Every structure is written in structure tokens, then in C-alpha cells.
Structure 1
Amino acid sequence: MPLSEYEQRVLEQMERALTSDDPRLANTLQSTGRRSVLRYVLAGVGVVVGLLLLVIGVASPNTLVGVIGFVLMFAGVVFAVAAPRRKSGPAGVVDGDGNVNAPKGGARKRRSSGPGGWSGFLTRLEERWDRRRDEGR
């Protein structure tokens, strides 16, 4: 059963509000999540070759072959399970027309986590809290 015009407009307004409030969440929800079959084939080949090398390494006096086989198996499983990297564009706010605007205050600066990674994380949380509180006024 198709949606009425009113329901379609309300749905579009909800989508715009979600995209405006949290662009990363909206992008994650819009992605299909399908992975390439080639990715799984390569991972499977890596696991099988790694298993063969592991068995050969256990049967032979050279243990380095077994270690290499184990590492190859582990890498194949991680490659199959891990999400592929995406190119991320600038994070911004989407206005009512669906246009992306740059974040307020210019470009965001990335901080290196370094030794004070936890304090940097807390600082970012505080900044986000302040921005949300200021937008609510």
C-alpha cells in the first residue's frame, strides 16, 4: 500500500531532521551494508592457504612456516569480518532543501589521541554537549 502525500512529506521531514541532527548516523542507516563477494573469496583463499601452511609447519621441523600460516589465517578472517573503509566527506548540517552546509565555526580540527587520549575524548564530548545546548536556545 503506497503512502499518501501527507505521509510522504512527514517521512521526508523526519529524514531531513535525522540527517541534520546526526549526519553520521543517517549515513550509516542509508548504507546498504552489502559486501563484495570478491572480499569473501579472497578471505577464504587466505584462510585455506594459511591452514595448509599451518599444517605443513606443524609436520615439518621449520616452525616459521606454521607461524606464517597462522598469521595468514587470522588475517583472512579479519579481512572477511571487518567493514571496508570508506572515504568520509566533511561532516556538516543538512538544511531543509537537502543541501549540506559546513559546520559552524569553520572546519573541525582533528586531534591526535596521543598519551592523553581519554582527556581528548572527554573534551570532544564536552564540546558536543555545549554545541547542542547552544543550538537548543
Structure 2
Amino acid sequence: MEHTPDSAVRAALDLRVVFSRLRRRIREVAQDADLTPSQESALSLVGKHGAATASALAAAEGVRPQSMATTLAALDRHGLIRRAPDPDDGRRQLVTLTESGRTRVEGNRQLREEWLARAFQDRYTEEERQTVLTALELLERLSRP
């Protein structure tokens, strides 16, 4: 078996930790007190998919369909999603964002993007930002199959 260099092991661990912290921090920026993190995540997912079934959303989120059903019920109570019969299969319902849900998703996205841009501006020099951009080009390879 081939030995994995220590630098690869360290890079993998450090990257996972930094991404986890950064993801948590970005979510905190626009976190709405009336939604749980799972509800916020599902709301964003509905926004990405446009129209999807609860089971497709559950699969995309990696949760049980029952958990997604509970989450969607809460989003429905907040008036952020609507459910309508699937025109191709009346037994299923398609979930979409309401205007209020769309406004919330887009507003949160904008807040997060603005926070991140300001953080790069305030915490890094131009040279450091260029280094980050170069590193991101390299890291992009990890996202390929």
C-alpha cells in the first residue's frame, strides 16, 4: 500500500477544519432567529432546485424523508414555501419558494456575499487575496470527479 505523505494528510485535515469553520461563520452572518439551521439549509435547497419533491430534497440534503417533511412543514408555517400537486404525478407534491421565501433566500445570499467580500478586504492585503485566488484555482481540482 502506498504511503500518503504527511503534507497531504495535514492539508486534508486543515482544509476540512477551515472549511467547516468558514461554512459555520457564513451561515451565522445571515442567520434568522426564527429558523433552525436545518430549516435554513432546506430553504436554500428549495431555492436552488426551483421545484422539487420532498423526497428529492431529502436525498439532496442527506436526511430521512420524515425529517424533511417536518422541516418543510415548519417552512410552510412561516409562509416561505408552497406545495402544489406535481403535474406529471398527482400523488406527489412539488415544493417551491413563495415570494417571501425567495426574498429571504436572496437577501441571505447577498448578506453572506457582502460579509465575505468585506472580510477579504479588511483582513487580507491585495497580495494575500491574490494568493487565496491562486489557492482556490488549485483547490478547484478537488471538486472534480
TM-score where L is the length of structure 2: 0.27
Structure (1 or 2) with the greater helix fraction: 2
Structure (1 or 2) with the greater strand fraction: 2
Larger Rg: 1
